[in-house]
A and B are shown apart, each in its own frame.
Chain A
Amino acid sequence: DVKVTQSSRYLVKRTGEKVFLECVQDMDHENMFWYRQDPGLGLRLIYFSYDVKMKEKGDIPEGYSVSREKKERFSLILESASTNQTSMYLCASSPTGNYGYTFGSGTRLTVV
Protein backbone atom coordinates (compact mmCIF):
# COMPACT_ATOMS: atom_id res chain seq x y z
CA ASP A 1 0.00 0.00 0.00
CA VAL A 2 1.07 3.53 -0.75
CA LYS A 3 1.98 5.38 2.35
CA VAL A 4 1.97 9.14 2.62
CA THR A 5 3.41 10.32 5.90
CA GLN A 6 2.98 13.78 7.35
CA SER A 7 5.45 14.63 10.03
CA SER A 8 3.06 16.06 12.62
CA ARG A 9 -0.55 15.25 13.47
CA TYR A 10 -1.08 18.37 15.58
CA LEU A 11 0.96 21.55 15.61
CA VAL A 12 0.60 24.83 17.50
CA LYS A 13 2.62 27.81 16.34
CA ARG A 14 2.75 31.50 17.14
CA THR A 15 1.86 34.30 14.77
CA GLY A 16 4.86 35.31 12.68
CA GLU A 17 6.72 32.03 13.02
CA LYS A 18 8.06 30.24 9.99
CA VAL A 19 6.38 26.83 9.82
CA PHE A 20 7.50 23.73 7.94
CA LEU A 21 5.08 20.91 7.16
CA GLU A 22 6.75 17.79 5.82
CA CYS A 23 5.30 15.08 3.63
CA VAL A 24 6.98 11.88 2.48
CA GLN A 25 5.60 9.18 0.18
CA ASP A 26 7.13 5.78 -0.32
CA MET A 27 5.79 4.60 -3.69
CA ASP A 28 7.82 6.63 -6.16
CA HIS A 29 4.87 8.81 -7.16
CA GLU A 30 5.60 11.66 -9.51
CA ASN A 31 2.81 13.96 -8.33
CA MET A 32 2.45 15.54 -4.93
CA PHE A 33 -0.07 18.04 -3.64
CA TRP A 34 -0.78 20.23 -0.64
CA TYR A 35 -4.37 21.07 0.31
CA ARG A 36 -5.99 22.80 3.21
CA GLN A 37 -9.44 21.87 4.41
CA ASP A 38 -11.73 24.18 6.32
CA PRO A 39 -15.36 23.69 7.38
CA GLY A 40 -17.71 24.95 4.71
CA LEU A 41 -14.88 25.61 2.23
CA GLY A 42 -13.92 22.07 1.32
CA LEU A 43 -10.53 21.09 0.00
CA ARG A 44 -8.50 23.90 -1.52
CA LEU A 45 -5.30 23.31 -3.47
CA ILE A 46 -2.31 25.32 -2.26
CA TYR A 47 0.59 24.01 -4.37
CA PHE A 48 1.45 20.94 -6.38
CA SER A 49 4.49 19.37 -7.99
CA TYR A 50 4.94 16.91 -10.86
CA ASP A 51 8.66 16.46 -10.56
CA VAL A 52 11.67 17.16 -8.42
CA LYS A 53 12.37 20.90 -8.10
CA MET A 54 9.15 21.65 -9.96
CA LYS A 55 6.23 23.47 -8.35
CA GLU A 56 3.01 25.02 -9.51
CA LYS A 57 0.62 27.34 -7.67
CA GLY A 58 -2.79 26.05 -6.84
CA ASP A 59 -5.87 28.08 -6.00
CA ILE A 60 -4.65 29.67 -2.75
CA PRO A 61 -0.84 29.97 -2.77
CA GLU A 62 -0.61 33.32 -0.97
CA GLY A 63 1.39 33.09 2.24
CA TYR A 64 2.79 29.68 1.37
CA SER A 65 5.79 28.27 -0.47
CA VAL A 66 6.93 24.72 -1.19
CA SER A 67 10.07 22.73 -1.73
CA ARG A 68 10.66 19.46 -3.53
CA GLU A 69 14.34 18.60 -3.47
CA LYS A 70 13.74 14.84 -3.58
CA LYS A 71 11.04 12.89 -5.36
CA GLU A 72 9.60 11.41 -2.19
CA ARG A 73 9.46 14.60 -0.13
CA PHE A 74 7.27 17.68 -0.56
CA SER A 75 7.43 20.40 2.05
CA LEU A 76 4.96 23.19 2.67
CA ILE A 77 6.33 26.38 4.22
CA LEU A 78 4.34 29.08 5.91
CA GLU A 79 6.68 32.04 5.64
CA SER A 80 5.09 34.02 8.48
CA ALA A 81 2.23 32.17 10.11
CA SER A 82 -1.02 34.03 10.64
CA THR A 83 -4.17 33.07 12.50
CA ASN A 84 -6.11 32.69 9.24
CA GLN A 85 -3.78 29.83 8.35
CA THR A 86 -5.20 27.75 11.18
CA SER A 87 -6.51 24.73 9.31
CA MET A 88 -6.17 21.04 8.51
CA TYR A 89 -3.35 20.56 6.00
CA LEU A 90 -3.44 17.50 3.78
CA CYS A 91 -0.66 16.17 1.61
CA ALA A 92 -1.44 13.78 -1.24
CA SER A 93 0.44 11.91 -3.93
CA SER A 94 -0.45 10.12 -7.15
CA PRO A 95 1.33 8.32 -9.98
CA THR A 96 1.45 9.60 -13.54
CA GLY A 97 -1.88 9.10 -15.30
CA ASN A 98 -5.47 9.71 -14.33
CA TYR A 99 -5.32 8.09 -10.95
CA GLY A 100 -6.73 9.19 -7.66
CA TYR A 101 -4.70 10.58 -4.84
CA THR A 102 -3.52 8.91 -1.69
CA PHE A 103 -3.72 11.32 1.23
CA GLY A 104 -1.57 11.56 4.30
CA SER A 105 -3.20 11.58 7.71
CA GLY A 106 -3.19 15.38 7.85
CA THR A 107 -1.69 18.03 10.11
CA ARG A 108 -4.02 20.13 12.18
CA LEU A 109 -2.22 23.44 12.53
CA THR A 110 -3.30 26.06 15.04
CA VAL A 111 -1.71 29.51 14.87
CA VAL A 112 -2.12 31.55 18.02
Chain B
Amino acid sequence: QKEVEQNSGPLSVPEGAIASLNCTYSDRGSQSFFWYRQYSGKSPELIMFIYSNGDKEDGRFTAQLNKASQYVSLLIRDSQPSDSATYLCAVIYPGSARQLTFGSGTQLTVLP
Protein backbone atom coordinates (compact mmCIF):
# COMPACT_ATOMS: atom_id res chain seq x y z
CA GLN B 1 0.00 0.00 0.00
CA LYS B 2 1.49 3.29 -1.08
CA GLU B 3 1.11 5.81 1.72
CA VAL B 4 2.26 9.30 2.44
CA GLU B 5 1.53 10.44 5.96
CA GLN B 6 1.38 14.01 7.20
CA ASN B 7 0.09 15.54 10.39
CA SER B 8 -3.08 17.32 9.36
CA GLY B 9 -2.56 20.08 11.89
CA PRO B 10 -3.54 22.76 12.12
CA LEU B 11 -0.06 24.00 12.90
CA SER B 12 0.23 27.55 14.20
CA VAL B 13 3.47 29.49 14.48
CA PRO B 14 4.12 33.16 15.25
CA GLU B 15 5.38 35.45 12.54
CA GLY B 16 9.15 35.22 12.19
CA ALA B 17 9.40 31.71 13.64
CA ILE B 18 10.49 28.53 11.89
CA ALA B 19 7.66 26.30 10.71
CA SER B 20 8.49 22.61 10.48
CA LEU B 21 6.33 20.30 8.39
CA ASN B 22 6.91 16.57 8.32
CA CYS B 23 6.03 13.71 6.02
CA THR B 24 6.72 9.98 6.08
CA TYR B 25 6.42 7.52 3.23
CA SER B 26 6.08 3.78 3.06
CA ASP B 27 8.38 2.59 0.25
CA ARG B 28 12.10 2.73 0.93
CA GLY B 29 12.81 2.61 -2.80
CA SER B 30 11.18 5.99 -3.49
CA GLN B 31 13.45 8.49 -5.23
CA SER B 32 11.54 11.72 -5.80
CA PHE B 33 9.85 13.94 -3.25
CA PHE B 34 7.89 17.14 -3.65
CA TRP B 35 6.31 19.85 -1.53
CA TYR B 36 3.29 21.75 -2.75
CA ARG B 37 1.62 24.78 -1.21
CA GLN B 38 -2.12 25.21 -1.58
CA TYR B 39 -3.94 28.36 -0.58
CA SER B 40 -7.59 28.04 0.31
CA GLY B 41 -9.70 27.73 -2.84
CA LYS B 42 -6.65 27.57 -5.10
CA SER B 43 -4.77 24.77 -6.81
CA PRO B 44 -1.50 23.27 -5.49
CA GLU B 45 1.72 25.03 -6.41
CA LEU B 46 5.09 23.25 -6.48
CA ILE B 47 7.55 24.94 -4.11
CA MET B 48 10.33 22.39 -3.57
CA PHE B 49 11.55 19.05 -4.80
CA ILE B 50 14.35 16.88 -3.46
CA TYR B 51 15.93 13.70 -4.76
CA SER B 52 19.04 13.20 -2.59
CA ASN B 53 19.58 12.67 1.11
CA GLY B 54 20.31 15.81 3.04
CA ASP B 55 19.13 19.40 2.80
CA LYS B 56 18.10 21.53 -0.14
CA GLU B 57 17.61 25.24 0.37
CA ASP B 58 15.65 27.73 -1.70
CA GLY B 59 15.25 31.13 -0.13
CA ARG B 60 13.34 30.75 3.14
CA PHE B 61 12.46 27.14 2.37
CA THR B 62 14.58 24.08 3.20
CA ALA B 63 13.61 20.55 2.25
CA GLN B 64 15.24 17.74 4.20
CA LEU B 65 15.32 14.11 3.11
CA ASN B 66 16.30 11.09 5.19
CA LYS B 67 15.80 7.96 3.11
CA ALA B 68 16.95 5.61 5.87
CA SER B 69 14.19 6.87 8.13
CA GLN B 70 11.77 7.41 5.25
CA TYR B 71 10.87 10.96 6.06
CA VAL B 72 10.99 14.25 4.30
CA SER B 73 10.44 17.61 5.93
CA LEU B 74 9.96 21.22 4.95
CA LEU B 75 11.29 24.08 7.05
CA ILE B 76 10.05 27.61 6.50
CA ARG B 77 12.31 30.22 8.09
CA ASP B 78 11.10 33.69 9.07
CA SER B 79 7.49 32.59 8.57
CA GLN B 80 5.13 35.21 7.21
CA PRO B 81 1.32 35.41 7.35
CA SER B 82 1.39 34.90 3.56
CA ASP B 83 2.82 31.42 4.23
CA SER B 84 -0.50 30.41 5.78
CA ALA B 85 -1.71 27.57 3.56
CA THR B 86 -1.99 23.81 3.35
CA TYR B 87 1.28 22.07 2.49
CA LEU B 88 1.11 18.82 0.58
CA CYS B 89 3.88 16.25 0.52
CA ALA B 90 4.09 14.05 -2.59
CA VAL B 91 6.20 11.04 -3.51
CA ILE B 92 6.87 9.11 -6.71
CA TYR B 93 6.85 5.47 -5.74
CA PRO B 94 8.90 2.86 -7.66
CA GLY B 95 6.86 1.30 -10.41
CA SER B 96 4.14 3.94 -10.16
CA ALA B 97 4.86 5.23 -13.66
CA ARG B 98 5.55 8.83 -12.72
CA GLN B 99 2.41 9.27 -10.66
CA LEU B 100 2.60 11.34 -7.53
CA THR B 101 1.10 9.96 -4.34
CA PHE B 102 -0.02 12.84 -2.15
CA GLY B 103 -0.35 13.16 1.57
CA SER B 104 -3.48 14.71 2.98
CA GLY B 105 -1.70 17.95 3.78
CA THR B 106 -0.76 20.01 6.84
CA GLN B 107 -2.61 23.26 7.42
CA LEU B 108 -0.22 26.00 8.54
CA THR B 109 -1.29 29.28 10.09
CA VAL B 110 1.27 32.01 10.71
CA LEU B 111 0.01 34.40 13.35
CA PRO B 112 0.89 38.11 12.98
Is there a chain A Cβ closer than 8 Å to B19's Cβ? no
- Chain A: which residue is nearest B44 at the CB level? A103
Residues of B within 8 A of A102 (CB): 46
Chain B interface, number of residues (Cβ within 8 angstroms): 22
**Docked pose: A96 CA to B92 CA in angstroms:** 13
**Docked pose: A42 CA to B102 CA in angstroms:** 8
A100-B46, A100-B90 known; A48 vs B105 contact (CB < 8 Å): no
Cβ-defined partner of B43 (8 Å) among A98, A100, A103 = A103
**Docked pose: A58 CA to B101 CA in angstroms:** 11
Residue pair B98, A98 in contact (C-beta under 8 Å): yes
Residues of B within 8 A of A75 (CB): none
Cβ-defined partner of A103 (8 Å) among B45, B103, B105 = B45
Residues of A within 8 A of B34 (CB): 100
Chain A interface, number of residues (Cβ within 8 angstroms): 22
How many Å from the CB of A28 to the closest CB on chain B?
16
A43-B88, A45-B99 known; A98 vs B45 contact (CB < 8 Å): no
Residue pair A105, B105 in contact (C-beta under 8 Å): no
* Interface Cβ pair total, 8 Å cutoff: 45
**Docked pose: A105 CA to B99 CA in angstroms:** 19
**Docked pose: A96 CA to B97 CA in angstroms:** 10
How many Å from the CB of B102 to the closest CB on chain A?
5
Residues of A within 8 A of B80 (CB): none
**Docked pose: A5 CA to B112 CA in angstroms:** 34
1/0 contact string of A36-51 vs chain B (CB within 8 Å): 0000001101001010
> Nearest 4 A-B pairs (CB), nearest first?
A98-B32, A103-B43, A42-B104, A100-B34
Apart from the given pairs A43-B102, A100-B100, A101-B44, 15 other A-B contacts in the complex at a CB distance below 8 Å: A31-B98, A42-B104, A43-B44, A50-B98, A56-B97, A58-B99, A90-B43, A90-B44, A99-B32, A101-B46, A101-B100, A102-B46, A103-B43, A103-B45, A106-B43
> Can you list 7 A-B pairs, Cβ within 8 angstroms, ordered by A?
A42-B103, A43-B44, A96-B98, A98-B51, A98-B98, A101-B44, A101-B46
Interface set of A (CB-CB < 8 Å, partner B): 31, 33, 42-43, 45, 48, 50, 56, 58, 90, 94, 96-106
